[in-house]
């Protein structure tokens, strides 16, 4: 992920990865035939968690509740996997590769729809784009000096304002105290 | 800019640029020794305008007025040069190259400081990061269906909310009616 961040996905070869790890190219090739394989493997556990967050958000009754669940869940996930999300979300080559997979592209569309649903029309899509891009950028190298808890809190608050969401006054019924604490 | 957007800056060669233009590599090479030269030349007129916006914003008396001037000016500039800003702001290789130039890096720092100044501490920096990344993302290919006026209006409104800026009630004294109309 460090090499992808520094040289872009398209600019990183398996040879560079092997050099960085201090192994031969054959050793990397034994596990991953292409850098696409490697990126897919790194990203898969994050996508699995994201699927769960999106699925739960879609069961909520109001546009506000759907956007709130997606925002808090996605920010927590993005902060936990800072390096992966930064590449996944800002590198043209990585985006092209991942979005060429119909399932990933569908997840991004559903995320955007959940965030955009708070405000009708194109304004909702601009708000959602700003929040998605903002989360990706703020989890990148620029914010390394900020600890995870502070980053999570500030991103949720900025995201709520950008989307026009009010902060929830108390835990909703289907959130356990543990979940609430982990995203507060 | 189309090739940089599709293949990333690092993944685009002068040969690919020559092929896209239907000329020889020697013809491209006659004008630009490297793709760095080419990107610098494309970006320079936009940077020139940005310098003016940042300089004026820094003369304003309050943090709110400084952020408001930067936000409206930068959004207008970004929408006018949609393709350039999208590459300039989201491609790791292009960012690395441009930020290696001390003057560009200084401009980005001043922009961030102007936007972050509305809210003290790291929260202000997270807000500014979200707005800068959001403007870059929303001026990219995802929003091509939206016309320039609508995109400008929605971005300014989302940016104001994310930063915690109130919308100005009337034109400030140093804005002409023409400037006001162009960003409304």
Residue ranges of domains in chain A: 34-183
- Contact criterion met (CB below 8 Å) for B150 and A155: no
pLDDT above 80: residue A171: no
pLDDT for res A176 = 47
Q: Rounded distance, CA B80 to CA A38, Å?
A: 38
Q: Tokens for A50?
A: 């994201």
- Number of inter-chain CB pairs under 8 A, A vs B: 133
**Of A8, A146, A161, Cβ closest to residue B11:** A8
Task: Tell me if chain A has a CB within 8 Å of the CB of B79.
Answer: no
DSSP state of B12: -
pLDDT for res B184 = 39
With b for 16 or more beta-carbon neighbours within 10 A and e for fewer, the B18-42 pattern comes to beeeeeeeeebeeebeebbebbbeb
Q: Rounded distance, CA B112 to CA B123, Å?
A: 12
Confidence of residue A179 (pLDDT cuts 50, 70, 90): very low
Q: Which residues of B touch A2 (CB under 8 A)?
A: none
Pick the CATH number of A34-183 from 1.10.287.3510, 2.60.40.10, 3.50.50.60, 1.10.357.10: 1.10.357.10
**Cβ-defined contact of B133 to A136 (cutoff 8 Å):** yes
> Chain-wide mean pLDDT for chain A?
84
Residue range A2-25: average pLDDT? Answer: 87
**Cβ-defined contact of B127 to A96 (cutoff 8 Å):** no
Report the percent of chain A where pLDDT is more than 90: 46
- What are the two backbone dihedrals, phi and then psi, of residue A3, each rounded to the nearest 5 degrees? -65, -45
Closest Cα in chain B, distance from residue A175 (Å): 26
Q: Rounded distance, CA B17 to CA B36, Å?
A: 13
Identify which of A77, A33, A142 has the alpha carbon closest to the alpha carbon of residue B133.
A142
Q: Which residues of B touch A136 (CB under 8 A)?
A: 133
Task: Tell me if chain A has a CB within 8 Å of the CB of B83.
Answer: no
Q: What is the ipTM of this complex?
A: 0.77
Q: What is the DSSP string of A106-161?
A: HHHHHHHHHHHTTS-SHHHHHHHHHHHHHHHHHTSGGGTTS-HHHHHHHHHHHHHH
Q: Rounded distance, CA A53 to CA A179, Å?
A: 12
Task: Tell me if chain A has a CB within 8 Å of the CB of B117.
Answer: no
DSSP state of A32: -
The residue behind tokens 């400030």 is B172
Helix, strand, or coil here: A7? helix
CA atoms within 13 A of residue A141's CA, in its CB half-sphere = 11
Closest B-chain CA to A155: B126
Confidence of residue A173 (pLDDT cuts 50, 70, 90): low
DSSP state of B13: -
Residue range B175-184: average pLDDT? Answer: 45
CATH architecture of B35-183: Orthogonal Bundle (1.10)
| Percent helix / strand / coil, chain A, rounded to 5 | 75, 0, 25
Q: Where are the alpha helices (DSSP H) in B25-81?
A: 25-31, 35-59, 63-80
Confidence of residue B171 (pLDDT cuts 50, 70, 90): low
């Amino acid at each position: 992920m460090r090499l992808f961040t520094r040289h872009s996905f398209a600019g990183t070869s398996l040879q560079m990865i092997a050099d960085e790890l201090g192994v031969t190219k054959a050793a990397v090739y034994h596990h991953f035939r292409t850098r696409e394989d490697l990126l897919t493997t790194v990203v898969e556990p994050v996508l699995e968690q994201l699927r769960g967050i999106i699925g739960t958000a879609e069961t909520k009754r109001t546009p506000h509740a759907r956007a709130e669940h997606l925002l808090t869940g996605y920010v927590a996930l993005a902060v936990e996997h800072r390096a992966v999300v930064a590449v996944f979300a800002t590198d043209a080559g990585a985006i092209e590769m991942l979005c060429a997979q119909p399932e990933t592209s569908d997840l991004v569309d559903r995320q955007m729809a959940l965030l955009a649903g708070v405000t009708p029309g194109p304004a909702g899509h601009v708000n959602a784009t700003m929040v998605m891009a903002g989360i990706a950028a703020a989890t990148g190298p620029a914010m390394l000096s900020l600890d995870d808890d502070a980053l999570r809190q500030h991103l949720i608050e900025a995201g709520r304002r950008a989307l026009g969401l009010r902060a929830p006054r108390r835990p909703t019924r289907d959130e356990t105290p543990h979940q609430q604490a982990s995203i507060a």
